[in-house]
Structure 1
């Protein structure tokens, strides 16, 4: 954009551009009343065809730019600015009844107040915006008195800063080391812990300036499973293990596809696993809001037919050590009770985990000792640090 502006600015000025103000990729432009907008747009779009410009002209002497509404006053030949909110704005902020630290709730109001003080160009527009902040706060159950207090404090600081000619500087006398400490949020207990710790630190460590901050607890949704669990044989990107039913010998392997595909390549009968699952939950009909046509519908989960490049070089059904073992010994593998030892969607880390498990447990049915060279742990890891593939 900077190169475009440097190259085309003289031509744009000749077409009627008076002012050009850009923020990242949004540009606010003043042009002469008799200038042709389409001519300016053609010059910009012709400069680099893949980059296309669009434009929006003022309507009723108003034009929105980012979060600012610019109002043109023709009588006074001036511009005024106020806050612009998109039509999709719902007015939703952190609710007053939310289980979060009080600082979070206060900052929801003070941040809107700060923005109003920076953007609103007249006291009339500022007063209108303050009323809008009060409406938003009321919509989210904030106490009116607290909102008025926060707005008043911010406005007083703004006025004092304007009236004072002295530049605002930080307190240079406080040379204490600042330490930030996170503590769990448990309503009044958190506030009491802050006070006691600060009081103790002021006596024992006068060289420290401890600043506490709290994060809200995890959302309630994190404690509930919102999706149907994926059955074990449908999982992908896993390290798995299979035991022999007759002698208990073990095999450890990995696959980036669904387990059912890899196990079938090892020799598992195609009837071992059911790939159809009911999509319905065990709920009463009164709890479900859906038509009778959908109530008894069965969801079929299809398996992928794509094969990663790491598994297409050999015919696994012919080279599988498990399949050869079954043919040579006549033993049966415990396919249904195979174990998913761990999951890893990163290809290299999946190979490392498989190699560590093979090196630690030395499964009898594996041909190789590792599938990748172990750089960090060339001698492997102890079994105590790894999951048990037999469980």
Structure 2
């Protein structure tokens, strides 16, 4: 896990390095990069020199290389094939792929079933060279059959997408904007609701009722309140409705021990005077006089309350420092 800007910085660093190095090989190499995957076409000698230059850019950056085997090389979701001085592409299925996709008999709307077929066929066609498309279409049909898709449904859709790829150019400008409403899919009922709303330019987006997040709700235990850090907490007074509001970067348990076991609790609270506020946001001397009566069964402040409290604290701090 890193900061949100880390990916931007990594991209800038890679652009700087590759421009500096590849400018020396303009006429000797073909270089393309997607995030951290690089494609290089060059002679064996130049390949080793380029690899040494990249690894010498910085001691913390080390690149590895994978050469073509049997005149093929995997890159992203494609297999590149070196055939007759020409590079062909083919949609790649990973070895660990189980060929399991959305089953035809699952409880999903027909639009989602159809969308599964369209998604796979479009991906296969666009990532595969025309010479290899007939073979990849056969492989795709076999996968669909394994997942119970009827041929009478898949064949027309595949032919339609092939025709669309070669002959049609769609423009988004002329498409009418529709209102989309997501609802759980219920067999038969959802189809009737769709027909009723269609004349009103409202489109239903169906989603399955059973989702993984409902089955696996909590994969890890929540952090106990006492072990949380960077929190705003409240300690109520036992004798009245006043309360001590504190902010700490420590674990809450450690901070409460500082309140509980300090030799001079009043001195401890004076150190934190700028964060002692009551509900109305004013500093209360009462909290200093009744320190021993604070009950340490605290509760954490919500994010919305935290913003209000911190804002009030800043106002109090300005008043105290200016007086």
TM-score with structure 1 length normalisation?
0.57
RMSD value, Cα: 4.3
Query: Which residue does 1:242 correspond to in 2?
Result: 235
Q: Which has the higher contact order (CA 8 A, sep 6+)?
A: 1
Indicate the structure with greater helix content.
2
Which protein has the larger Cα radius of gyration, Structure 1 or Structure 2? 1
Q: Is 1:335–2:290 an aligned residue pair?
A: no
What 5-or-longer segments of structure 2 have no aligned partner? 1-13, 277-284, 317-323
Query: Which residue does 1:371 correspond to in 2?
Result: 313
Query: Which residue does 1:41 correspond to in 2?
Result: 51
Instruction: Tell me which of 113, 120, 124 is aligned to 2:128.
Output: 120
Residues in 2 aligned to 1:46 and 1:57: alpha-carbon distance in whole angstroms: 20
Pairwise CA distance, 1:317:
5.9
Residues in 2 aligned to 1:20 and 1:244: alpha-carbon distance in whole angstroms: 73
Q: Mark the CA change 1:255 to 1:110 in structure 2 (over 3 Å): closer, same or farther.
A: same
| Cα contact 1:68–1:82 (8 A) shared by 2 | yes
Alignment coverage as a number of residue pairs: 286
For residues 341-383 of structure 1, give each alpha carbon's deviation from its aligned partner in whole angstroms, at most 9, with x where no partner exists: x333xxxx76533257xxxxxxxxxxxxx31239xxxxxxxxx
What pairs up with 1:66-215 in 2 under 5 angstroms?
A: 66-73=76-83, 76-96=84-104, 101-122=109-130, 125-137=132-144, 142-145=147-150, 149-159=153-163, 162=166, 164=167, 168-170=169-171, 177-188=176-187, 189-199=189-199, 201=200, 209-215=201-207
Which secondary structure state, in structure 1, belongs to the residue aligned with residue 178 of structure 2? strand
Q: Is 1:58–2:58 an aligned residue pair?
A: no
| Cα contact 1:237–1:350 (8 A) shared by 2 | no
Which secondary structure state, in structure 2, belongs to the residue aligned with residue 178 of structure 1? coil
Query: Which residue does 2:245 correspond to in 1?
Result: 253
Which secondary structure state, in structure 2, belongs to the residue aligned with residue 193 of structure 1? helix
TM-score with structure 2 length normalisation?
0.66
Residues in 2 aligned to 1:13 and 1:50: alpha-carbon distance in whole angstroms: 26
Query: Which residue does 1:353 correspond to in 2?
Result: 308
